[in-house]
């Protein structure tokens, strides 16, 4: 999802509730078979009988044949730095795409892909591309760890994911060292209370942007979602698929909506789960998240038999105490208020992780130590036990700032504090200040105020909203379905908790599987509970 600020990491939800990347969990073609219905008879069919060339937009000159005629050279995947290689059946490749689509015959960058072929070759439907969110999540890393949730789909689809441009192995953005990152998390107050803290907060954002420019200047202007959607169409072409079959989660729904807008005729069976509101600008996203995380927190408190208002006030008071006196931990590091808020955010993504929050809060309130909340925060921030940070936050900010024209100032963020504090005493100040975070001094201009997702002529797209979703509140799914257009956006409501419904709701999982495997489109407005 397009989370405002440093409060989101790529999410892959499965029956086991894979959560944010790190210690808690990961998160992070062929012709139609003989005798099958023709593509025109099956809405959104992913047939690949004759791969269509990538559609072009007015701002996108034709691509050279050297790119459109590529064929991936699938090889055994290498282990990532500090990690292990994917297991049996996984193969990796790289596809070249233009660095700048305005100059398609110019310099290229490589987009890293990973694939597991369909088990039933005789009934194979084509490739299914996944984006698990962020922005900034590495699909090459996440898909093998999340693939168990999609085993049914793998019977007839090749499961394929990728590192979007500016992420990890695809010309990944890098903005600061581990030492610089650790220092920032230790010393910068994300909810500044004094002029000195405010100055340090603004300086940190400026320093981060300057570091991105020093280390990744070449790619920074080109890492936005529109270019990533164009990359998707190149990938579709080189995989040999006539239409794109796509499963997007969180920010991946924004990418999917952008693709549908740019390439409506190439939209195959597409599912958007945990949907980003396409009508919200930067402040709107922050406002949505203040609402969503507070709603999830109150649902958590009610589930624990606590009064939501009293429980919220208790947690807000705890954060005030930590702000004044950070808590010690067994690592020797201190848990400050900013890390504590991140630690509280993390388990709200999945109901199965609520017990982790209960344990961590009890330890902080009664034991006066911050081990649990720090571990949760580290998992969210991509920090391993050796103090190494991944670069997802770097990519996230670069993509977000390349997309959005918004550059709120400190004065504008400060003016939001009363409203946001009313929306959520726990998360509101953090999200209000974050609007003036890293994009304020960003070295590259943003593309738009809000993304465009209208897709007249596209096949039906399933849009799934969960009523208790903390990070992409339910209301955004309805807005995405409306913006896609009548007959395109098919709204499904999941009455439940957590960030994403597939693999969590048996009803939603069944509906999505029938759609992908059989082409059965549910009625618009279907509700799962």
The CA distance from 378 to 142, in Å, is 18
| Catalytic site includes residue 469 | yes
Q: Is 440 helix (H, G, I), strand (E, B) or coil?
A: helix
Q: Is 421 helix (H, G, I), strand (E, B) or coil?
A: helix
Are the beta carbons of 194 and 248 closer than 8 angstroms?
Answer: no
Active-site residue (options: 395, 434, 499, 505): 499
| Catalytic site includes residue 222 | no
The CA distance from 15 to 248, in Å, is 17
The CA distance from 427 to 389, in Å, is 24
Closest to 503 measured CA to CA, from 6, 5, 27, 4? 27
The CA distance from 329 to 371, in Å, is 5
Phi-psi region of 133 (alpha: psi -120 to 50; beta: other; left: phi over 0): left
**What's phi and psi for 32, nearest 5 deg?**
-60, 145
Closest to 454 measured CA to CA, from 307, 268, 259, 308? 259
Active-site residue (options: 216, 353, 469, 505): 469
- Residue 172 tokens, joined: 């990944």
Residues 6+ apart with CB under 8 A from 125: 32, 33, 46, 47, 118, 156, 157, 245, 516, 517
Are the beta carbons of 370 and 328 closer than 8 angstroms?
Answer: yes
Are the beta carbons of 61 and 78 closer than 8 angstroms?
Answer: no
How many C-beta neighbours within 10 Å does residue 320 have?
Answer: 13
| Catalytic site includes residue 499 | yes
How many C-beta neighbours within 10 Å does residue 18 have?
Answer: 26
Active-site residue (options: 250, 400, 404, 424): 250
The CA distance from 487 to 211, in Å, is 45
List the catalytic residues: 250, 469, 499
């Amino acid at each position: 999802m397009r989370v405002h600020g440093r409060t989101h990491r790529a999410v892959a939800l499965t029956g086991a509730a894979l959560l944010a990347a790190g210690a808690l969990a990961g998160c992070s073609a062929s012709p139609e078979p003989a005798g099958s219905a023709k593509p025109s008879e099956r809405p959104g069919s992913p047939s690949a009988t004759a791969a269509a060339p990538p559609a072009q937009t007015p701002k996108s000159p034709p691509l050279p044949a050297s790119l459109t005629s590529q064929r991936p050279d699938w090889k055994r995947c290498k282990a990532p730095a500090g990690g292990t290689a994917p297991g049996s059946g996984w193969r990796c490749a790289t596809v070249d795409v233009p660095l700048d689509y305005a100059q398609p015959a110019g310099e290229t960058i490589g987009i890293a892909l990973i694939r597991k072929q369909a088990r039933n070759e005789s009934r194979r439907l084509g490739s299914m591309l996944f984006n698990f969110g962020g922005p900034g999540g590495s699909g090459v890393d996440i898909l093998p760890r999340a693939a168990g949730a999609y085993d049914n789909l793998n019977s007839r689809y090749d499961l394929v994911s990728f590192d979007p441009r500016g992420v990890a192995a695809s010309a990944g953005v890098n903005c600061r060292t581990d030492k610089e990152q650790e220092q920032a998390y230790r010393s910068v107050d994300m909810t500044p209370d004094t002029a000195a803290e405010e100055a340090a907060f603004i300086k940190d954002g400026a320093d981060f942007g300057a570091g991105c420019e020093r280390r990744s200047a070449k790619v920074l202007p080109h890492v936005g979602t529109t270019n990533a959607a164009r990359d998707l169409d190149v990938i579709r072409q080189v995989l040999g698929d006539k239409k794109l079959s796509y499963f997007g989660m969180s920010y991946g729904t924004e990418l999917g909506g952008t693709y549908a807008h740019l390439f409506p005729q190439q939209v195959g069976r597409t599912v958007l789960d945990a949907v980003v509101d396409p009508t919200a600008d930067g402040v709107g996203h922050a406002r949505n998240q203040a609402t969503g995380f507070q709603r999830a927190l109150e649902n958590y408190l009610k589930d624990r038999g606590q009064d939501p208002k009293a429980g919220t006030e208790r947690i807000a008071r705890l954060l005030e105490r930590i702000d004044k006196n950070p808590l010690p931990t067994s690592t020797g590091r201190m848990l400050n208020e900013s890390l504590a808020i991140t630690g509280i955010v993390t388990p709200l993504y999945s109901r199965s992780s609520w017990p982790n929050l209960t344990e961590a809060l009890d330890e902080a309130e009664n034991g006066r130590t911050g081990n649990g909340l720090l571990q949760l925060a580290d998992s969210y921030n991509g920090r391993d036990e050796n103090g190494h940070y991944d670069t997802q936050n770097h990519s996230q900010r670069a993509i977000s700032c390349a997309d959005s024209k918004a550059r709120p100032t400190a004065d504008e963020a400060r003016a939001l504090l009363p409203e946001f504090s009313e929306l959520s005493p726990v998360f509101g100040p953090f999200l209000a200040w974050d609007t003036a975070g890293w994009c304020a001094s960003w070295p590259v201009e943003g593309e738009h105020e809000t993304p465009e997702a209208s897709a007249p002529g596209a096949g039906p797209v399933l849009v799934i909203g969960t009523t208790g979703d903390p990070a992409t509140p339910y209301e955004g799914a309805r807005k995405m379905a409306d913006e896609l257009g009548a007959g395109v956006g098919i709204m499904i409501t999941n009455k439940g908790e957590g960030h994403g419904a597939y693999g969590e709701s048996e009803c939603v999982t069944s509906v999505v599987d029938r759609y992908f495997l059989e082409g059965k489109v549910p009625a618009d407005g279907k509700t799962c509970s």
